[in-house]
Structure 1
């Protein structure tokens, strides 16, 4: 049977370079980008970019030169081939390390740095690999290669291919996820479209446009994981993550399986033994080049970004495992028919050996290294969360045992045993609470910052929950999450929560730009629609903040009852959320009074959407109980989807006031004829002024009549002392 399996890879060139690059590689790259926190990735882009581009190029040069100095020529390598090997083996793949970070509770930023670098240097390594592979093939075919023109042309080609790939990925992912936003709870369609995006971005970029397919897939995955996160139906989102995790696992397994089979079939034991000295040199050089890239570049990078400590740098160096990407590129070399067989076997064996070494040595010693640097130590927020979780587990367990006792369905001896177990867990909970109290400083300001981070974490989860239930629209959810991210960054940097908070208002420059465009005859309607959209987001985001702030207040009250944190520190955060809720309530009242029609229409739609989501959940529950046939379930689901689609397509009215309706409200024109009002309405020009912006100044030549459709205006003058007075 093994002979038959091996024969599959030998007959007719079944395992081709195209199969590896165009079938196995895109899911690996897309999943890594999709799972990455795009905001944190951009925040740490400078150190990630330095490690992924100049440090990788340096590693390529050092590795290639060292392999040739150690006798690579005797194993079929040329200088270009050695640099080709250096490029493919410099691509890191820290899947095992990132999983370990999550298990040990390592700092999130460390995981972002390691995983983000791997994502970018995969693209860099493959772009460099393709350039060098063309040179190696030309040399193998006896063509002349000009080193000088290659260096200059290669740099320009590298930039064009890399940035071109990024542009292709963004251009494909943005409209596709806008399209997915119109799909309602259809797992097959939404996941299929994401698969299409992963492969289409790679194929279109690599095959048709001749730019980097990996960079295209990376950028497409980042767009999908950030912009597209709220476009995917809430019921599909979790399954989408599980699907892509499985796809990455399957592709990884297939690549490792293929490499093992090919080596067993194609490489003899004597040749393998003869490569051991070169392999030993290659391992040492790869580790040394990695160390030079990390430790040598970080001191310069830290002048512009948050400091990256020496323990972080050490873990980043040792955690630079090699994996599926390096093996896929090595297989591409091995399957290339125009390269010498000896060269191909050498590249494959060295690559597989280094990948195996990093998995057996680096990965298995990573946990002791993290513990030695105490990077697994829980933060005060972690200790608090752990203690609170244990307390909640005990409370829920007690409620279940009490219910079982009331129902009388469990023997008293069993209940007694359960209560003994709960008593033991209660003691554990009390110990955890005591440890949390001891580990938290008595500094009220420091405690308040810790509580603020806890509250913001609760707020984020509450926003996503309400979005899933249909209580928040997608633009509102994006606005609230963006504001939450900004506040979380500030709290992490040591800044207290602000006194005032307004969500979804947009930048002042945007409002000024729209105000300048409104009087223009050709684009005034577009400016008014954009203004109306911004206003609708502001109104809905204010309503969302009111709801979410109230939910956070309730959770903070439960934490206060647990007496886990100093009441004075907790009160600071409670006061802020209470103030934000009242501010939102006041602003919501003013906006609702100004736009009563829109407010009523919007709230009606959101209430109907919540009803539809609740009915959908109830239908699933009935189906699980066996009370619905497949046909009845499908028909009910179809009706719910159609109803939700109709709600989404319904245009909300009430934001834009009809000029004729405005004129009818003017007391001086109460008796005017409709024809006159219609003629005046044709002459009206919409203008919008921001709060505090001057409409007209004393002494200006008057050539306009202003009718206030929404809001209010104040009249101010100056006294003899030059002080401004409101009349």
Structure 2
């Protein structure tokens, strides 16, 4: 395909993304499912060239920024508090699911060698960070469950990728060493933490010394690819390196980035992540045609592979239920024996966790790296795509319903001592004390009476508020609703004056920028 045609195809794909994203809420479907189905439909449009994905290029383009986005905004305190649960899901659940899938694959396809069955298990076992984010950001979960699922999605790819590499090597060489595999996994994870931490620290030092805001934004965007590529070049886990760098950057960004840089970077970053997430799902859909053509057509899939694929999909879903409910039962026994370092989830929360196991781009990209000599390669490709399709379309679209039926409530024991109102009161008091310190001249005369009065009123309102959070939310919504209406009226008048040639473009842009910041502040405060 000519490079210009490739670019035209990319532009057309993003236009399709906009249309499908617009249609998703009107169809009552999660955008991930709509994009996946839309991409699959587009793959069979007459005249549209087949999309062949380079798996290594897909991973290096899409995975680092999407992992960084999750790590950057991860709350470190809950992450550390629930690290044992995250490790159970990211390592234990992945290995257990891979083992169950390997056994089922061997039962339904006895001709496959065990190493090939394990490779298939490694491909489909880790839930995907992109799929998890796409679904979780549109449902409301208790903090503990959200932390567990987000942490799992950040770390489990490393487990699946290491297991896959050793399984493929075992198929091709006929040898396997458990000790070597465990040692390699420890080296990859430990090395990834060191490399990612070092790059995160380097980013902190660099940004502190950059005076140009555009350079600061660029450095903040590029750090995800720097950490991933450095990890892979040093033969450690690029996934873990990216997550480690993201945790460091996210922790320090509050104290080293200016407000202007943070607003600019966040705006750019959100648009980029939106496009990348959407492109992932539509590319998965577009790749359906190539997978079907490779195995000989849809008839071959339905006739020769449907039973085996269905059995493996069932194994993938049920293995997660078995691991989570089994781990929760063990935790209850340990609690009864006196060990209370972690509380069990309970059956309702465990059901939600078990159902939230969507697969995505990593599963497909890893499947596409299967060597041609791999026994059962065609079946593995079809199975990988089918697992993605079923988990995103079935589990992803019904997860919100499952959460509502579970009736989960927030566990207040893990919440910090100050709520939003108390934190705002403390912040307002600190601001007033600083303004008060600067409001008077050495001779005692007041220099900034209006500022002092404004901050005093703000502190008084925050400190004396005694209603519930619900009442406060209603008051805030009404208050900032008036401000937003005033901003809209001011903007309309500015436009009228400009159209009537009573103000010039420079005046319009200057005053419009002030209104934009006022609107952003009001929207953020309204929640």
TM interval, shorter chain, is 0.5 to 0.7
Residues 1:69 and 2:98 are matched in the alignment:
no
In 1, Cα distance between equivalents of 2:68 and 2:466: 40
Say if 2:179 is the partner of 1:152.
yes
SS at match of 2:141: coil
Normalised TM-score (structure 1): 0.50
The answer to whether the Cα contact below 8 Å between 1:94 and 1:114 also exists between their aligned partners in 2 is no
Provide the residue aligned with 1:305 in structure 2: 342
1:93 and 1:193, CA in 2 relative to 1: closer, same or farther beyond 3 A?
same
Corresponding residue of 1:231 = 256
**Which residue pairs with 2:218 in the alignment?**
192
Counterpart of 1:80 in structure 2 is: 115
1:544-598 CA-to-partner distances (Å, cap 9, x unmatched) read xxx9999665313144699969xxxxxxxxxxxxxxxxxxxxxxxxxxxxxxxxx
Q: State the shift of 1:217 in Å.
A: 0.7
Q: Is the 8 A contact 1:185 1:234 kept in 2?
A: no
SS in 2 for 1:25: helix
Distance 1:245 1:300, change over 3 A: farther
Q: Which residue of 1 aligns with 2:463?
A: 556
Partners of 1:62 and 1:158 in 2: CA distance: 20
Partner in structure 2 of residue 263 of structure 1: 288
Kindly indicate whether the alpha-carbon contact (under 8 Å) linking 1:202 and 1:217 is maintained by their aligned counterparts in 2.
Answer: yes
Over the aligned positions, Cα root-mean-square deviation in angstroms equals: 3.9
1:272 matched to 2:304: no
When normalised by structure 2's length, the TM-score is 0.68
Secondary structure at the counterpart of residue 198 of structure 1: helix
Query: Alpha carbons of 1:320 and 1:562: their partners in 2 closer, same or farther (altered >3 Å)?
Result: closer
Describe how 1:14-163 pairs up with structure 2 within 5 A: 15-71=53-109, 73=111, 77-93=112-128, 103=138, 105-136=140-171, 139=172, 143=173, 145-147=174-176, 150-163=177-190
Which position in structure 2 is the counterpart of 1:172? 199
Give the alignment partner of residue 343 of structure 1, picking from 344, 365, 376.
376
Map of 1:458 onto structure 2: 424
| Residue in 2 that maps onto 1:594 | none
- Contact 1:166 / 1:219 at 8 angstroms: preserved in 2? yes
- Name 2:239's counterpart in structure 1: 214
Conserved 8 A contact 1:165-1:212: yes
Partner secondary structure for residue 106 of structure 1: coil
- Residue by residue, what CA displacement relative to the aligned partner does 1:700-725 show, whole Å, maximum 9, x if unpaired? xxxxxxxxxxxxxxxxxxxxxxxxxx
- Are 2:386 and 1:360 aligned? no
Distance 1:560 1:33, change over 3 A: closer
Output the CA distance in 1 between the equivalents of 2:201 and 2:422. Answer: 29
CA deviation profile, 1:163-194 (whole Å, cap 9, x unmatched): 101110001111212321333571x3223212
Comparing 263-272 and 452-461, the one that deviates more: 452-461
8 Å contact 2:89–2:156 — kept in the other structure? yes
- Of structures 1 and 2, the one with the larger relative CO (CA 8 A, separation 6+) is 2
Residue 162 of structure 1 and its aligned partner are, at CA, apart by: 1.1
Q: Counterpart in 2 of 1:293?
A: 323
Q: CA 1:54–1:452 in 2, change beyond 3 Å: closer, same or farther? A: closer
Equivalent pair of 2:200/2:248 in contact (CA under 8 Å): yes
* Residue among 49, 52, 73 paired with 1:6: 49
3-state secondary structure, aligned to 1:6: coil
Distance 1:198 1:360 in 2: 29
Name the structure 1 match of 2:363: 326
- Deviation, 1:280, is 1.0
Distance of 2:118 and 2:201 partners within structure 1: 36
> 1:561 & 1:305 partners in 2: Cα distance?
31
Correspondent of 2:403 among 370, 373, 376: 370
Contact 2:100–2:315 (CA under 8 A) maintained in structure 1: yes
* Counterpart contact for 1:29–1:218, Cα < 8 Å: yes
Q: Which residue of 1 aligns with 2:3?
A: none
- Greater mean alpha carbon deviation, residues 360-369 or residues 161-170: 360-369
Aligned residue pairs, count: 408
| Residue aligned with 2:358, SS | coil
Larger-Rg structure: 1
Shift of 1:43: 1.5
Note if contact 1:6-1:262 (Cα within 8 Å) is conserved in structure 2: no
Structure with greater helix percent: 2
Cα distance change on mapping 1:153 and 1:104 into 2, 3 Å: closer
Offset, 1:104: 5.1
Decide whether aligned partners of structure 1 residues 294 and 378 sit closer, same or farther in structure 2, where only a CA change above 3 A counts: closer
Change (3 A) 1:177 1:322: same
- Contact 2:132 2:150 (C-alpha < 8 Å) held by counterparts: no
Tell me how far 1:195 sits from its aligned partner.
Answer: 2.9
Secondary structure of 1:364's match?
helix
Residues 451-484 of structure 1: per-residue CA shift (max 9 Å, x gap) = 9524344258769x97xxx99xxxxxxxxxxxxx
Structure 1 unaligned segments of length 5 or more: list them.
10-14, 382-445, 472-546, 566-620, 634-727
Structure 1 residue 181 corresponds to structure 2 residue 186 = no
Contact 1:252 1:324 in 2 (8 A): no
Contact 2:101 2:121 in 1 (8 A): yes
Over 3 Å counting, the alpha-carbon distance change for 1:5 and 1:558 in structure 2 is same
* Equivalent residue number for residue 431 of structure 1: none
Distance 1:562 1:217 in 2: 37
